[in-house]
Amino acid sequence: MMRSPRALAVAVRRPDGTVLLRDEPFVSLGERYPFLRKPLVRGPVILWEALVTGIRALSFSAQAASAEEEENLGGGGLLLALGGAFLLAFALFGFLPHWLSSLAGHLTGHPLTPADFSFHLIDGLLKLCFILLYIWGISFLREIRRVFQYHGAEHKSICTYEAGEPLDLEHARRHGTCHPRCGTSFLLVVLLVSLVVFSVFFPLVPRLTKTGLVNNLIQVLVKVALMFPIVALAYEIIRWGGRHSDSFLARILLWPGLFTQRLTALEPDDSMLEVALTALNAVLSRERQSGGH
């Protein structure tokens, strides 16, 4: 999937080997409502748009793959799968690390609550470990590994375009699979920012720092609500880092994400690069038609 300010394209490799392309105009919420492009506002908006377009792309891909197998992927089935995924993410990457952090203090005889910085430090480390182990584990699945290879193909194509080189296989092969503005880098910056925000917020609201299973659940729900300002701050950091990738501070901030992309953006084969380049060329063609660059 490729997206530009005025276009969206999804290219899919069919089971018969052909490439199916769907490209269409795209108008972001920021274009419709200029105030949504303001700093600290645009981050959550862009993340929401990425989520919606990503779900649409996955649905289109699944429909294209199932067409030849005479399967019907209904909207209800897709919603059920997405709902299950969000519930799993909430339990595994939200509630479980938080609950384990509250238990960690019993190992040292000093109970921990969200009022303690060490609580959030342990929580952040647990989340990081869970995320890395999860990514590493699913990378052994053949289908997921192909997804990660297509992810690498997207990055190679974008790097080729940003280098001003012809968008063909010969030039795309030369580039690496990592990119500083990748969602993987964004995820780790979100973890870092959340550590700071949670450490500051919870001590200011003592009634939210009580222990107990129910209180833990309430605290995690509060964390979910705080993700909006956290995402806003994380996006600005990623945006700054992408524009100043040669600076020492940007390298430090982006290095964990670039390192993690070794798991999520794998080396693709030429057939995958062809799909990514097809989508990118379609987006650029629409941009030129609409007067963009």
Give per-residue pLDDT as tens, 133-143: 999 999 999 98
Residue 276 has pLDDT above 90, yes or no: yes
Residue 292 maps to a domain: no
pLDDT reported for residue 168: 93
Residue 293 maps to a domain: no
Helix 183-204 and helix 213-243, axial crossing angle in degrees, nearest 10: 130
272: closest CA among 156, 153, 148, 144?
153
- Cβ-defined contacts of 61-69 (< 8 Å, 24+): 61/10, 61/12, 64/12, 64/14, 64/20, 65/12, 65/14, 65/15, 67/14, 68/14, 68/15, 68/16, 69/15
234: closest CA among 98, 5, 44?
44
Residue 27 has pLDDT above 50, yes or no: yes
Residue 139 maps to a domain: yes
* Domains: count for the chain: 1
Residue 218 maps to a domain: yes
pLDDT reported for residue 10: 92
Query: Cα(78)–Cα(73) distance, rounded to whole angstroms?
Result: 7
Residue 98: phi, psi to the nearest 5?
A: -65, -45
- Cβ-defined contacts of 98-103 (< 8 Å, 24+): 98/123, 98/216, 98/219, 98/220, 98/223, 99/213, 99/216, 100/126, 101/126, 102/211, 102/216
Higher-pLDDT residue of 93 and 73 is 93
180: closest CA among 191, 188, 192?
188
Residue 72 has pLDDT above 60, yes or no: no
Query: Cα(183)–Cα(152) distance, rounded to whole angstroms?
Result: 12
In the three-class reduction of DSSP (H, G, I as helix; E, B as strand; rest coil), residue 98 is classed as helix
pLDDT tens digit sequence for 203-251: 998 888 887 888 888 999 999 999 999 999 988 888 887 777 778 887 7
Q: How remote is the C-alpha of 68 from its chain's centroid?
A: 30
Residue 213 maps to a domain: yes
Number of Cβ atoms within 10 Å of the Cβ of 12: 21
Q: Stretch 146-171: mean pLDDT, rounded?
A: 93
Supply the range of the domain harboring residue 141: 2-287
Q: Stretch 37-57: mean pLDDT, rounded?
A: 87
pLDDT reported for residue 292: 56
| Residue 272 and residue 149 in contact, taking contact as beta carbons nearer than 8 Å | yes
Mean pLDDT of the chain: 86
pLDDT reported for residue 69: 47
Residue 116 maps to a domain: yes
Q: Stretch 49-77: mean pLDDT, rounded?
A: 70
pTM value > 0.75: yes
In the three-class reduction of DSSP (H, G, I as helix; E, B as strand; rest coil), residue 33 is classed as coil
